[in-house]
Chains A and B, each alone.
Chain A
Amino acid sequence: MGELRAYAALLGGQVRSVASYRASFVIELFSNIGATALDVVTVFVLFRVVTDLGGFKLPEGVLMTAISAGGFVLADFAVGNVDRLKTYVRTGTLDAVLVRPLGVLPQLLLLDLPVRKALRLVVGVATIGIAIGLNDIDWTPGRVLLVVVAPVAAAVFFGAIFVISASLAFWWVDSGELGSAFTYGGRDFTAYPITVFDGWFRTIFAYALGFGFVAYQPALALLGRTDPLGLPAWAGYSSPLVALLAAVLAALVWRTGVRHYRSTGS
Chain B
Amino acid sequence: MARIDASVLTISPGRPLRGSVTTFGALVWSGFRRYATYRQATLAGSFTNIVFGFLRCYVLLAVAAGTSGLAGGYRPEQLATFVWVGQGILSVVGIWGWTELSDRIRSGDIAADLLRPVPPVTAYLAADLGRALHGMLTRFIGPVAVGVFFFTLATPVRLQTIPLFLLSVVLAVIGSFGCRFLVNATAYWLHDARGPLILWTLGVGVLAGLYFPLRLLPDGLTAALWVLTPFPGLLQTPLDVVVERDSPPVQAGLVALQAVWACVLLLLARHVQRRAERKLVVQGG
From B51, B71, B194, give the contact of A24 (CB < 8 A): B194
Q: Would you call A185 and B52 a contact (CB within 8 A)?
A: yes
Chain A minimum-CB-distance residue to B60: A46
Nearest CB of chain B from residue A217's CB, rounded to whole Å: 18
B167: CB under 8 A from chain A?
no
Contacting pair B212 A176 (CB below 8 A): no
Residues of A within 8 A of B58 (CB): 196-198, 201-202
Query: B48 to A181, Cβ gap below 8 A?
Result: yes
A157-182 CB mask vs B (1 if < 8 Å, else 0) is: 00000000000000010111110111
Contact in complex: B55, A27 (CB < 8 Å): no
Residues of A within 8 A of B212 (CB): 42, 45-46
Report the stretch among A3-11, A30-38, A77-85, A237-245 that lies at the interface: A30-38
The count of chain B contact residues (Cβ–Cβ below 8 Å) is 34
The residue from B40, B52, B202 contacting A31, defined by CB atoms under 8 A apart: B202
Q: Which residue of B lies closest to A189 (CB)?
A: B55
In the bound complex, what is the Cα–Cα distance between A178 and B211 (angstroms)? 19
**Does A28 sit at the interface, judged by CB under 8 A?**
yes
- Say whether B48 contacts A34, CB under 8 Å: no
Specify the chain B residue showing the minimal Cβ separation from A34: B202
A188 is an interface residue with CB less than 8 A from chain B: yes
Task: Write out the residue numbers on chain B whose beta carbons fall within 8 Å of the beta carbon of A96.
Answer: none
Do A178 and B194 form a contact, CB below 8 Å, given A31-B199, A49-B216? Answer: no
Which of the 9-residue segments B61-69, B112-120, B264-272 touches chain A? B61-69
Interface centre among B42, B52, B59, B194 (most CB of A within 10 A): B59
Main secondary structure of the interface of B (DSSP, over half): helix
Of A51-59, A129-137, A256-264, the one contacting chain B is: A51-59
* B149 touches A (CB below 8 Å): no
State A51–B63 Cα separation when bound (angstroms).
Answer: 9
Q: Establish whether residues A188 and B195, one from each chain, have CB atoms under 8 Å apart when the complex forms.
A: no
Tell whether B45 is near chain A: CB-to-CB under 8 Å.
Answer: yes
**Is A48 in the interface zone, CB < 8 Å from B?**
yes
Question: Which among A38, A49, A53 has the greatest number of chain B C-beta atoms within 10 A?
Answer: A49
CB pair B202 A192 closer than 8 Å: no
Please tell me if B41 contacts chain A, counting CB pairs below 8 Å. yes
Q: Which B residues lie within 8 Å of A38 (CB)?
A: 202, 205-206, 211
Q: Looking at the complex, which one of B67, B192, B211 makes contact with A21 (CB distance below 8 Å)?
A: B192
Interface members, chain A 188-218 (any B CB < 8 Å): 188-189, 192, 196-198, 201-202
Contact of A174 with B44 in the complex, beta carbons under 8 Å: yes
The minimal Cβ–Cβ distance linking A48 to chain B, given in whole angstroms, is: 7
* Chain B residues with CB below 8 A from A201, complex form: 54, 58
Report if A45-B38 is in contact (Cβ < 8 Å); known contacts: A24-B194, A181-B51.
no
* A188/B55 in contact, CB under 8 A: yes
Give the complex CA separation of A52 and B62 in angstroms: 9
Which residues does chain B contribute within 8 Å of A54, judged by CB atoms?
A: 62, 66
Shortest distance in angstroms between B219's beta carbon and chain A's nearest beta carbon? 12
Q: In the bound complex, what is the Cα–Cα distance between A38 and B212 (angstroms)?
A: 12
- Residues of B226-242 at the interface with A, using a CB-CB cut-off of 8 Å, are none
Contact indicator B66/A52 (Cβ below 8 Å): yes
Q: A24-B192, A49-B63, A188-B52 are in contact. Are A175 and B40 (CB under 8 A)?
A: yes
User: Is B47 an interface residue, CB under 8 A from the partner?
Assistant: yes
- For the complex, what is the distance from the CA of A46 to the CA of B51, rounded to whole Å? 20
User: Which chain A residues lie closer than 8 Å to B211 at the CB level?
Assistant: 38, 42
Complex A-B, nearest 9 residue pairs according to Cβ-Cβ distance, in ascending order: A27-B195, A50-B66, A176-B41, A174-B40, A178-B44, A181-B51, A176-B44, A196-B62, A31-B198
13 pairs, A vs B, C-beta closer than 8 Å: A41-B206, A48-B216, A49-B72, A49-B216, A52-B66, A54-B66, A174-B44, A178-B45, A181-B51, A189-B55, A197-B54, A197-B55, A198-B58
